[in-house]
Amino acid sequence: MRHTRYRCGPVLPGLTVAQQIELSIGPGRTSAFADDAARRRAWERHRATLLALDPAGGRPWAAWFYDRTGKE
């Protein structure tokens, strides 16, 4: 039986897979980051790459959360 294989996007240096997912779709019950400040720093560092990886017309969760007002 054949199985469909899905490719994941590249994992960014300095982020774990869980951290990258959290920046893309938002935090779950527990965060992959130590605190919100660490999550914000990761977003600021990887913003351009994460925006480029998101599908056309989409925006990662962190873009809505952090860039919406600049002070969330």
In a domain, 53, yes or no: yes
| Number of folded domains that form the chain | 1
Per residue in 43-60, pLDDT (tens digit) is: 999 999 999 888 777 899
Higher pLDDT, 24 or 2: 24
In a domain, 11, yes or no: no
Residue 2 Cα distances to 5, 7, 8, 70, angstroms = 9, 16, 19, 47
Q: 22: closest CA among 42, 52, 48? A: 42
Q: Would the pLDDT of 72 be above 50?
A: no
In a domain, 63, yes or no: yes
Per residue in 21-40, pLDDT (tens digit) is: 999 999 999 999 999 999 99
The pTM assigned to this predicted structure is 0.77
In a domain, 58, yes or no: yes
Tokens of 63: 């873009």
User: In which domain, by residue range, is 47 found?
Assistant: 17-67
In a domain, 5, yes or no: no
